[in-house]
């Protein structure tokens, strides 16, 4: 009888892990009904799977699983559960979850509430000056927008072809006018092209729903960041780039502008060791942290990235260089408590990783 039982267990194991797949079922502990959308994942691999409407899951394994490896089961309405592979096998690959009453107590159900089919947008007053790649910050009920790119670059050949449908194969590329006229129209299209940055300060008053605007004497810049220092009621303009006088070259900006909102003045600091674009910026107490970004673009269009991290003490005006990032890249992130989360980025290719930096 023992050989038969052993064979039965082995067959059950093979059935549930055939071709490196772990299969099973998740049920409600009280009703024994299947639970849909349970997140199932293995501690030794990043991705997981979800149960279907029958409560069944099929987790693809990329390497051999061990008896003491843990399998996790989580659901928004149920208490999370983890089982070793050995225990899961002992339960015949069937898991029962209990409802998490602590989460359900905080849920208010409105049975008669009508849901919108789509998000509702409200059109607000437009900016006085159109721009993009600007810096922005929220302070004291207002949105501050400074600088940005106002370029209107045009491919003259492409625009001329779009404006003249006869320039196609069907008409043998005959536009209906001479070659000299074609060249003139292409040149006109290029002449309408413009590259430039601005130094406008535009302020949106949320309570009054209107814009204030003024042209400053500050250097024109774009692709920069803005940080609001709540303790000192100041806005810092950091990084980005500017154009040469003839707009043929781009340079990283060294200056830091500080908008003193209380006194309505602007201070300029010409020291910034973190000259970059597309970097991550954060503020914690009196410290501004700048991380990564790109610092150069070669003639072939290839960018040079940095892994540097700098801290600026707004109280003393001193800069400090912190530890390097794991890799040089353009990135963005968020500060939660004392931990910085860097999410994704770009260093010649799109990145999907997440890195953390503890400020303690």
What are 70-106's pLDDT values in tens digits? 899 988 888 889 999 999 999 999 999 998 765 545 5
% of the chain beyond a pLDDT of 90: 41
User: Is residue 146 pLDDT above 70, yes or no?
Assistant: yes
Q: Give Dmax over CA atoms of the chain in angstroms.
A: 98
DSSP 18: G
Residue-wise pLDDT tens digits, 187-212: 666 556 678 899 999 999 988 889 99
Residue finishing a domain among 60, 88, 103: 103
The domain spanning residue 42 has which CATH number? 2.60.40.1120
Task: Supply the pLDDT for residue 4.
Answer: 36
Report if residue 251 sits inside a domain.
yes
d(CA 97, CA 116) in angstroms, rounded, equals 33
Residue-wise pLDDT tens digits, 59-69: 888 788 888 88
Report if residue 108 sits inside a domain.
no
The tally of domains found in the chain comes to 2
Please state which of the ranges 59-68, 157-166, 265-274, 346-355 shows the lowest mean pLDDT: 157-166
Task: Supply the pLDDT for residue 113.
Answer: 60
263 and 223 housed in the same domain: yes
Q: Which residues contact 82 (CB under 8 A, 6 or more apart)?
A: 70, 71, 72, 73
Report if residue 119 sits inside a domain.
no
d(CA 136, CA 200) in angstroms, rounded, equals 12
Which token pair is 57? 């899951």
The 10 Å Cβ neighbour count of residue 332 is 18
220 and 334 housed in the same domain: yes
Which residues make beta-bridge pairs with 21? Answer: 60
Name the more confident of 249 and 160.
249
The domain spanning residue 180 has which CATH number? 2.120.10.80
Average pLDDT, the chain: 82
Residue-wise pLDDT tens digits, 235-255: 999 999 998 887 778 889 988
């Amino acid at each position: 009888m023992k050989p038969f039982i052993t064979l039965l267990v082995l067959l059950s194991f093979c059935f549930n892990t055939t071709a490196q797949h772990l299969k099973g079922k998740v049920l409600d502990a009280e009703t024994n009904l299947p639970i849909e959308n349970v997140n199932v994942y293995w501690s030794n691999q990043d991705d997981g799977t979800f149960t279907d409407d029958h409560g069944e899951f099929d987790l693809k394994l990329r390497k051999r699983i061990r008896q003491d490896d843990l399998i996790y089961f989580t659901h928004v309405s149920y208490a999370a559960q983890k089982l070793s592979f050995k225990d899961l096998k002992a339960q015949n690959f069937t898991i029962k979850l209990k409802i998490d009453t602590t989460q359900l107590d905080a849920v208010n159900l409105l049975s008669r509430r009508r849901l919108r089919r789509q998000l509702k947008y409200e059109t607000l007053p437009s900016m006085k000056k159109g721009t993009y790649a600007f810096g922005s910050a929220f302070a004291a009920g207002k949105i501050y927008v400074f600088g940005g790119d106002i370029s209107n670059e045009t491919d003259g050949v492409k625009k001329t072809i779009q404006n003249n449908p006869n320039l196609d194969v069907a008409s043998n590329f005959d536009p209906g006018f001479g070659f000299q006229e074609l060249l003139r129209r292409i040149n006109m299209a290029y002449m309408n092209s413009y590259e430039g940055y601005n130094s406008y300060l535009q302020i949106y008053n949320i309570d009054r729903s209107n814009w204030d605007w003024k042209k400053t004497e500050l250097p024109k810049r774009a692709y920069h960041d803005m940080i609001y220092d709540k303790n000192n009621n100041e806005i810092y303009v950091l990084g980005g780039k500017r154009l040469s006088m003839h707009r043929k070259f781009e340079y990283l900006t060294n200056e830091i502008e500080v908008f003193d909102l209380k006194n309505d003045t602007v201070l300029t600091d010409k020291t910034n060791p973190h000259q970059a674009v597309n970097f991550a910026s954060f503020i914690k107490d009196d410290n501004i942290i700048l991380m990564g970004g790109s610092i150069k673009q070669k003639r072939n269009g290839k960018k040079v990235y940095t892994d540097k991290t700098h801290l600026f003490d707004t109280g003393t005006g001193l800069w400090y260089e912190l530890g390097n990032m794991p890799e040089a890249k353009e990135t963005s992130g968020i500060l939660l408590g004392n931990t910085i989360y860097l999410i994704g980025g770009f260093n010649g290719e799109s990145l999907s990783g997440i890195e953390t930096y503890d400020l303690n």
